[in-house]
Structure 1
């Protein structure tokens, strides 16, 4: 089913674009953390490929695509070179990077869920794999950078929720035998737009009812993710 949605060349090109923008976000965090060039490359690779690698290992798609397609490995290195030399300029277009990151989120939550179903997982597990594909690399990035994963922080704009919505739309379409290029594209677009709206209006997930925590929002949290 997965391979029927797009032609192989289109699918591969979309994957590389998503990998590239995820790698940019990882490399930028490494620069902010004052990592050396090797650390920047590692964080770029992990951010870009971590979610897909985790999915492929879980569903048994081995060896994972990250190790069988040279383009998947080299694209984060290209992002590393760009950020290493031009990080001030990249920082200045952070809004544009965030838009492409949102597009990558929408794409990967859909392709991740579809591929998981192709490999025999049930609908709920496939949706979970779609979420893991989209956000797994970011979680690994934050852990390696010694930060609380943005996914778990209350002071970050919604990130996982759009991915959950996109992946859920996919499995519902599978359930009712309605998954095709149009409906999968609609799921990508929905996740993408939800993420953009969350960034624009700073939508955040609710915290515990009647909480007593004195935790405060960190400076600059409005540009983060959750």
Structure 2
């Protein structure tokens, strides 16, 4: 039950996120649907490929596809002011990351994968769709350049991979904690260390 609830939450959040980005970069309506669906299902599809799950299972999620399409349609109908607010708050990315990180880790744990694979599953499910979205929108993926983003997904995978949770409510609490940490890190501009290479000046 927890897995299904988080799957629906993550799908709706990332479908909205993809549609908002599509409108932000002035893609047409078809572009909004494509970007929304890819953001919602891209991370799970990559996870399935790396964990040996047949890709055809993606097409068995009819209810999720319907929910994603309805969400994208709703975003398209929003006013420009509302879209600007959603872009500024970035709430959908945070919710999608939190839900899919926990859901992806639960999925890997359910098929008895080792700790590293559980953490990878959490990270790629939580961030994979967003990376594909940003690439298609011709933006540098936010997960690879700023914010403590991927770290929170790995943290969720570690907690679940270590078998520290057993009751349903504990997974919901972890979801809330990841969402809170993501919000705090975004609010205060936390970021991981970076190193840049200075290009030599031409004489």
TM over 0.5: yes
CA distance in 2 between partners of 1:205 and 1:95 (Å): 22
The aligned residue for residue 38 of structure 1 is 30
CA–CA distance in 2 between the matches of 1:193 and 1:162?
10
After TM superposition, the score normalised by the length of structure 2 is 0.86
Structure 1 residues 24 and 77 mapped into 2: Cα distance closer, same or farther (>3 Å)? same
Shift of the 99–30 alpha-carbon distance from structure 1 to 2, 3 Å rule, reads closer
Contact in 1 for aligned 2:45/2:55 (Cα 8 Å): no
Question: 1:170 — aligned with what?
Answer: 160
Matched, 1:185 2:172: yes
- Point out where structure 2 has 5 or more consecutive residues left out of the alignment: none
Q: Distance in 1 between matches of 2:89 and 2:14?
A: 9
CA contact (8 A) 2:9 2:99 kept: no
Q: CA deviation at 1:96?
A: 9.1
Match of 1:62 in 2: 54
Determine helix, strand or coil for the equivalent of 1:120.
coil
Instruction: Return the offset for 1:65.
Output: 4.5
Once the two structures are superposed, residues 108-149 of structure 1 have per-residue CA deviations (whole angstroms, 9 ceiling, x without a partner) of 111101211222321111111111000000001011112221
1:197 and 2:184 equivalent?
yes
Q: TM-score, normalised by structure 1?
A: 0.78
The structure 2 residue matched to 1:81, chosen from 73, 76, 79, is 73
Are the counterparts in 2 of residues 57 and 64 from structure 1 also a CA contact under 8 Å?
no
Contact map agreement 2:21 2:87 (CA 8 A) in 1: no
CA distance in 2 between partners of 1:193 and 1:25 (Å): 18
Q: Name the counterpart of 2:18.
A: 26
SS of structure 2 residue aligned to 1:86: coil
Q: Deviations over 1:17-52 (max 9, x none)?
A: 221111111111111221111111000001011111
RMSD in angstroms over aligned alpha carbons? 2.3
Query: Which residue of the partner structure matches residue 112 of structure 2?
Result: 120
Kindly state the Cα deviation for residue 162 of structure 1 after the two structures are TM-superposed.
1.4
Change (3 A) 1:152 1:133: same
Match in the other structure for 2:41: 49
